[in-house]
A and B are shown apart, each in its own frame.
Chain A
Amino acid sequence: MEEILTETIATEAKRTHRRAQRSKIVRLTVFYVAGVVMALVFLFPLIYMLATSGKSEITLAAEAGSVSMFLPDFSSMSTMFDNYKKVIVSYGIWKNALNSLTYAAVVIVLNIIVNGLAGYVMAKFDFPGKGLLSFLILFLIIVPVETSIIPLYSIVTVLLQLKGTASVLAVILPAAISVFNIFLFIQFFESIPKEYEEAARLDGAGNLRIFFSMILPLSKPIVATVATFCFIGVWNDYVWPLMVLPYAGEGEWSLYPIQAVLTSIKTIRGVTTGEVMASLVIASVPIFIVYVVAQKYIVQGFGSAGLKM
């Protein structure tokens, strides 16, 4: 009697367990199917871009309206990279990518030094006029900067006369200062204990020495966040460089960053859709690499930015 009872209980338990397992599998399947569908909604233009970048105009016309528009054309493996070759060799887009990389590198270094130093002073020093500066920092974060793009343009061209090669400075210098980054640095530096700094001072280290060889290495997360934001900002900027940089003409070494040149590639006579797509892919690859590598810092940056209202 007792044996039978324990047996029924065991089978019953097994059945409920199996049922729970089954409903869990159903729920997981629904979740992943929904996730894939949504991911496709967000990715389809990018998939289309990648697929099209390997195709000739004839293939594209033949494929119109079919799903193969979203798939790479494996039947013509040999010509798959022709568009890339054309864009890189004939249109010289690598020079503009190099320009963008150079601007980004200089801006990142300047931005971290200039705003980092300011943040360090505001967080750790006591001096007359500090109250006014703190107020100015908060005030300038709130005032929208985009509306002053035209006066900024007049300052750069009329006041500073940045023309020709010097106009590179007009791209770099305004990007080197960011009041918001100063704010981020202050927040982070304030959390570094005073004892570290005092110990370094006893060892005879100067202010700059303390900043570069102690404060900055201790602040890797915020430095990485600022660097990532700078890179994305400079690499993706397009209106401002088009306004201030001179147009060098086709085939000449232009100062344009890659985003600015994308808009003119479209207008070259005889350019094919595949070639434009190839240049777009080239322009998105670096930003993707940076994004995937620095992903967790971007999230941290948003996290710290998201709680300050």
Chain B
Amino acid sequence: MWGSVLLILACFVALFVAFSVKDVVAMKKRGGKYRIKTTMAAYGMLAPAIVLAFIFVMLPIIYSLGYSFTDFYLLKPNDIHFCMLDNFKDIFREIGAKGDMYHAIVNTAIFVVCVVPLQIGLALGLALFVNRKLRAVGIFKVCFFAPVVISLTITAYLWMQILSPSQYGLLNSFLGLFGAEPQDFLNNQKTAMLWIVLMSAWQGCGYQMLIFLSGLTNIRKELYEAASLDGATAWDQFLHITCPGLRSTFLFIVITVFVGACRVMVQPMVLTGYQTHTMTLSYYMYVQGYTYRWVGYSSAVALLMTIVIGSITLIQRRVLREKD
């Protein structure tokens, strides 16, 4: 492993030297000069960040790229072979045979399609609700935001209590009042994913509410005053002032919620554990790489994920931007 690290480091340094020389030459052409003392001081202060970023941010990304073409098995770190596209062939075979990878894709797709509109809609509703100058609005904001700061481990455990299959579970004991049989919500193949969607939206929407709020405060108040003088209804004002005013905020939120939703992992992990009907892509990747230690295969999944998510993000950006 050290060999490859040194190789990457050499490439990195070479790239750096090349760009620095280019900068120096360009500066000379303009008749200026870099001061050696300033440069030394700059790199001295940048050194901790560069070293840490190289080891913990750049290397993992480059390795993830490289591993996906190898048969790296974590328990045999000195026995790595290039196997070209074998991992990707395995992935597509797994999809074709409707294995876990297939279910992971389907479940992630269901999750994304449900959670993105639900969470953004809730967040926008809450933001419009608290965007007024009244007493106690701050308290409401704190309440709506509370699930965001509570860790996923805690909220997931609380929801497990709520959805517990025993007759003492919160939801079951209330349903029991109406004479319903206790149900196993999270082991039910049809409803489990929907409960995960509900929980995620419930927990996450406070975050987007705050971002919407910061967008709403940037819309000029005079616009609303002028509109109500012209006799525009509240709905007209929402459609023609609020919506256009929130466009860039909306773009940011759609992309971040979408990317976040594609990476969903901890919710199914703590709510149901490794089960086919709640398997998601990130969780599949994690189990393959960490539990089964097939780092090569897991990296290939990660690479495919990054490519797909990245390209969809780019398309979203295009489409949403073009409307401007």
A143-157 interface mask toward B, CB cutoff 8 Å, 1 = contact, 0 = none?
111111111111100
Q: Which of A7-35 contact B (CB under 8 A)?
A: 28, 31-32, 34-35
B39 touching A117, Cβ below 8 Å: no
B253-292 interface mask toward A, CB cutoff 8 Å, 1 = contact, 0 = none?
1010001000101100110000000000010011001100
Contact residues in B for A247 (Cβ distance below 8 Å): none
A256 within 8 A of B: no
A189-232 interface mask toward B, CB cutoff 8 Å, 1 = contact, 0 = none?
00000000000000000011001000000000000000000001
A61 to B167, CA, bound (A): 10
B77 touching A65, Cβ below 8 Å: no
B24 touching A177, Cβ below 8 Å: no
Q: Which of B94-102, B105-113, B188-196, B297-305 contacts A (4 or more CB under 8 A)?
A: B297-305
Point out which of B64, B153, B252 has the most chain A C-beta atoms below 10 A from its C-beta: B153
B143 touching A43, Cβ below 8 Å: yes
Contact residues in B for A144 (Cβ distance below 8 Å): 259, 263, 306, 309-310
Contact residues in B for A308 (Cβ distance below 8 Å): 252
B157 touching A276, Cβ below 8 Å: yes
Contact residues in A for B245 (Cβ distance below 8 Å): none
A-B contact count (CB 8 A): 265
B23 within 8 A of A: yes
B24 touching A128, Cβ below 8 Å: yes
Give the residue of B57, B173, B251, B299 whose beta carbon is less than 8 angstroms from that of A65. B173
Whose C-beta in chain B lies nearest to the C-beta of A307?
A: B248
B223 within 8 A of A: no
Whose C-beta in chain A lies nearest to the C-beta of B154?
A: A280
A46 within 8 A of B: yes
Q: Which of B143-163 contact A (CB under 8 A)?
A: 143-147, 149-155, 157-159, 161-162
Chain A interface, >50% SS class: helix
Asked, given contacts A28-B134, A151-B299, A280-B157, whether A146 binds B151 with beta carbons under 8 Å apart, the answer is no
The 7 A-B residue pairs with the shortest CB-CB distance, nearest first, are A150-B289, A148-B60, A236-B151, A118-B49, A65-B173, A177-B52, A303-B214
Beyond the given pairs A121-B42, A158-B1, A177-B49, 5 more chain A to chain B contacts, judged by CB atoms under 8 angstroms and listed by A's residue number, are A46-B146, A69-B173, A150-B64, A243-B290, A306-B252
A-B contact pairs, 19 of them (CB 8 A): A35-B129, A42-B206, A46-B147, A114-B48, A121-B46, A127-B34, A128-B19, A144-B310, A147-B282, A148-B63, A149-B60, A154-B67, A158-B77, A177-B53, A236-B149, A288-B149, A291-B145, A306-B211, A309-B248
